Structure 1
Amino acid sequence: MARLAVVSGGGTGIGRATAGMLAGEGYDVIIVGRRPDVLADAVKWIGPQASAVTADCADPEQVPAVVAAVGDREVDVLFNNAGAFIGGDDATLADLAARWRAVFDSNVTTAVLLTEALRPRLRRPGARVILVSSIAAQRGGGGPYSAAKAALHGWVFDLATQFGPDGITANVIAPGFVTDSEFFDGRMTEEGFRSRVNASLLNRAGEPSDIAEAVRWLAGPGGAFVTGQIINVNGGTVLGR
């Protein structure tokens, strides 16, 4: 039977590229997201090894649908990619609290609930748990988004410690500026794009495939002895953290 990967936020951008890469490596892939039409398009693009579950992973009542889709199989790769920058009006304390909670739900609660729900299904030994953070966790500038992504860094140390005796690795990938995603959702200006490209030592933006290649390494034989790490894929925009 083929190996199995579960990819949250798998309908677009980094998630879709990674799901496609894993399918190409011979995995069966379950992609998870909130929009059935987007997921259907991604499944068509990825190919016959892909299937989709429509669920909001921040909702404890919806996550069991993913567990049901896994069934009695073992999960070899869990790629926690769901997350978003959420803007809003912080005019009042109530507004501020609502936005921070929404950002933490989107970026942290999604990963926590999906990982805990699938914990019994992770292959022992050999499973790979990978969280997606951001360069914003290391240099700030994103308010609640930076804080939420930084929370994943602390949590992955706990996961690596807990999973280590079972031969399961847990790591974070922290991307820099990546194009071809919905992250900026119309907020990107030409000036903003150029400043981000210029900040890279390689003078280019990242692509979803750059992150997928980091997952390929962590999920493959070369990543077998790597756990509890923050893997920066940012073109040198932030150095050595």
Structure 2
Amino acid sequence: MGERWGVVSGGGTGIGAAVARALVAEGCSVLVVGRRADVLAATVERIGADTGRPDAIRAVTADLADPEQVGRVVEAVGGRPVDVLVNNAGGYLGGDDGTLAGVAAQWRANLDANVLTAVLLTEALLPVLRRPGGRVILVSSIAAQRGGGGPYSAAKAALHGWAYDLAAQLGSEQITVNVVSPGYVAETEFFGDRMTPEGHARRVAQTLVGRAGVPDDVAEAVRYLASPAAGYVTGQVLGVNGGSVLGR
């Protein structure tokens, strides 16, 4: 089949970096996308050293909520067929909800960060997705299924409906579209300094397996969905949450 190419947004830290490393280790060449050049550079160097494939990973800095900056990714791809697109960029954005203007700003910020980034990057790369055999994977959140995150929950849930439409649109071209929905994952920047020992313990207690997730747990799920072995899996939401929310 030749060399496979992947693009991972939000690839500088946490889940995105773990996904990029898993794909490089699997033999893909990967372009990681993020907003912080220094973080991306460190991640590229580390993954290249860890996998022994320093030429198989590179980075481009872009805010994917800005249509003009998405063009940087298209330029970096350079017309190569993209086998795997992982839309991982996003996060919870707080705000002042004491006024309607503050509520509107927070909701727009969360929709931009979690939905618009995925939509714009995917639309920009649709022409170069591998046909047949391309893989589009969206990283959602357990919050989309059980709530608890306000605008963040709503934004992640929006990815599910869009993924179903995209799977129907691209299925005839043998491109699959799936969602990975992580539960509580430690060792990421998601909670910043908001996480307390009590909060950690409470989230672990909600699982059936008695531990927090780690980025590699999610990366392994993405690795499967990105592989040729997952060609008959599309339009699905895969929960990676230790049993915190049961499948339905």
Counterpart for residue 25 of structure 1: 26
Asked if the contact 2:133–2:228 (Cα under 8 Å) also holds between the matched residues in 1, the reply is: no
Q: Distance in 1 between matches of 2:43 and 2:116?
A: 24
Question: What residue is the counterpart of 1:111 in the other structure?
Answer: 118
Task: Tell me, yes or no, if structure 1 residue 36 matches structure 2 residue 18.
Answer: no
Structure 2's unaligned 5+ residue stretches are 49-53
Query: What residue identity is the alignment partner of 1:147?
Result: A
Residue 138 of structure 1: SS of its match in structure 2? Answer: helix
Shift of residue 46 of structure 1? 1.2
Residue 221 (structure 1) shift: 2.8
Give the partner amino acid of 1:90: D
Q: Partners of 1:196 and 1:108 in 2: how far apart?
A: 25
Residue identity in the other structure for 2:129: L
1:149-197 Cα shifts (integer Å, max 9, x gaps): 0000000000000000100000000000001110001100110000000
- 1:7 lines up with 2:8 in the alignment: yes
Q: Which residue number corresponds to residue 205 of structure 1?
A: 212
The structural deviation recorded for 1:2 is: 1.8
Residues 215-230 of structure 1 mapped to structure 2, 5 A cutoff: 215-230=222-237
* Structure 2 counterpart of 1:140: 147
Tell me the percent identity: 66
Does residue 130 of the first structure (1) align with residue 137 of the second (2)? yes
Q: The residue matched to 2:18 in structure 1 has which SS? A: helix
Tell me the TM-score normalised to structure 1 length.
0.99
Give the deviation of 1:88 after TM superposition: 1.4
Q: CA RMSD in A?
A: 0.7
Aligned length: 241
Counterparts of 1:174 and 1:120, CA distance in 2: 26
Distance 1:21 1:165 in 2: 28
Instruction: Give the partner amino acid of 1:144.
Output: P
Residues in 2 aligned to 1:164 and 1:119: alpha-carbon distance in whole angstroms:
13
Residue 51 of structure 2: aligned partner: none
**TM-score for both structures, normalised by structure 2:** 0.96
> Take 1:216 and 1:34, find their aligned partners in 2: how far apart are those partners?
24
What letter corresponds to residue 40 of structure 1 in structure 2? A
Residues in 2 aligned to 1:38 and 1:208: alpha-carbon distance in whole angstroms? 17
CA distance in 2, matches of 1:178, 1:167: 32
Output the CA distance in 2 between the equivalents of 1:213 and 1:156. Answer: 20
The 5-angstrom pairing of residues 1-241 of structure 1 reads 1-47=2-48, 48=54, 49-241=56-248
User: How many angstroms apart in 1 are the aligned matches of 2:209 and 2:20?
Assistant: 26
1:33, 1:107 → 2: CA distance? Answer: 13
| Residue 222 of structure 1: how far off its partner (Å) | 2.5
Q: Secondary structure at the match of 2:238?
A: strand
* Amino acid of the structure 2 residue aligned with 1:149: K
